[in-house]
Amino acid sequence: MLTRVCLEEMEGGGIAHVVELPGCFASHRDRDSALESVPVAIETYLAWCVAHGVRNRGVSGPIHISEMIRTWESEQGYEVNAFFATDRPPILKSDLPMFRDLLKATRQSLLAAANGLQEPEFTRKYEGERWSILESLAHVAGAEWWYLERVGVAFDRTELPDEVFLRLDKVREHFVENLPQLASVTGMFGRTGEMWSARKVLRRALWHE
């Protein structure tokens, strides 16, 4: 067997997504270094899964680049991210428990990283970073809602809470509750020049958090 990797090239780096391990990726300023980092990323990911009680199929065999796509900018100035062939298959109902566990584990890791921080740490701007920690958390919640909206599974935008942690909770609760609905989404959707599917929504949500 081969360990399939889908490579996403973009300005400022590359992201190597491990197909059989949703949310497992390696990123770097150049694509070759991202690919070289995949074995360590897999080892770290599998240890993280064990620590959180997440079961997965695992991987074996040499790394194989199954697809490589470069992002581009639309006429509206929007960065169009990769839609891989591996994003096409619908979500299987048998996969829902794994995705539910992964979403729970990524949220636990995110909140653990933020736990104990004081107000100045949340709101200050760190060198080399685009946003403060608080702004980054708001972005995670907003992007996750936006992913769901791409395939018609989001609630109305006006219902997004202003408070960051309430927003994170509401969006994630809705996401988990609607996993069965995501499994019923079998088509592909074109939004602002970008292709989406239920599988891409889950891949990007886990990667993004």
Q: Average pLDDT in the 1-27 region?
A: 91
Tell whether 83 is covered by a domain: no
Output 83 or 2, whichever has higher pLDDT: 83
Tell whether 131 is covered by a domain: yes
Q: Does 175 lie in the same domain as 103?
A: yes
Q: Does 187 lie in the same domain as 140?
A: yes
Indicate the SS3 state at residue 134.
helix
Summarize pLDDT for 164-195 with one digit per residue, the tens: 999 999 999 999 999 999 999 998 999 888 99
Q: Does 63 lie in the same domain as 144?
A: no
Q: Does 193 lie in the same domain as 107?
A: yes
* Predicted model pTM: 0.92
Summarize pLDDT for 17-56 with one digit per residue, the tens: 999 999 999 999 888 899 999 999 999 999 999 999 998 8
Q: Does 99 lie in the same domain as 202?
A: yes
Name the token pair of 141: 């919640």
Query: Please, what is the average pLDDT of the chain?
Result: 92
Tell whether 86 is covered by a domain: no
Tell whether 77 is covered by a domain: no
The total domain count for the chain is 2
Q: Does 66 lie in the same domain as 115?
A: no
Report the pLDDT value the prediction gives residue 100, as an integer from 0 to 100: 97
CB 132 within 8 A of CB 123: yes
Q: Is the pLDDT of residue 123 over 90?
A: yes
Tell whether 43 is covered by a domain: yes
**Banded pLDDT at 86 (limits 50, 70, 90):** very high
How do 13-18 and 25-28 pair as beta strands?
Answer: antiparallel
Tell whether 104 is covered by a domain: yes
Tell me which residue of 136, 141, 147, 201 sits closest to 173, measured CA to CA. Answer: 141
What range defines the domain where residue 150 resides?
93-208
E strands of the chain, at which residues?
A: 3-10, 13-18, 25-28, 63-70, 72-73, 79-80, 189-191, 194-196
Q: Is the pLDDT of residue 74 over 80?
A: no
Tell whether 81 is covered by a domain: no
Looking up residue 18, the CATH number of its domain turns out to be: 3.30.160
Q: Does 33 lie in the same domain as 134?
A: no
Q: Is the pLDDT of residue 2 over 90?
A: no
Q: Does 201 lie in the same domain as 107?
A: yes
Q: Does 167 lie in the same domain as 120?
A: yes
CA dihedral sign, ordered 191, 208, 163, 125: negative
Tell whether 162 is covered by a domain: yes
Residue where a domain stops, chosen among 70, 104, 121: 70
Looking up residue 124, the CATH number of its domain turns out to be: 1.20.120.450
d(CA 90, CA 186): 5
Q: Does 7 lie in the same domain as 60?
A: yes
Q: Does 63 lie in the same domain as 106?
A: no
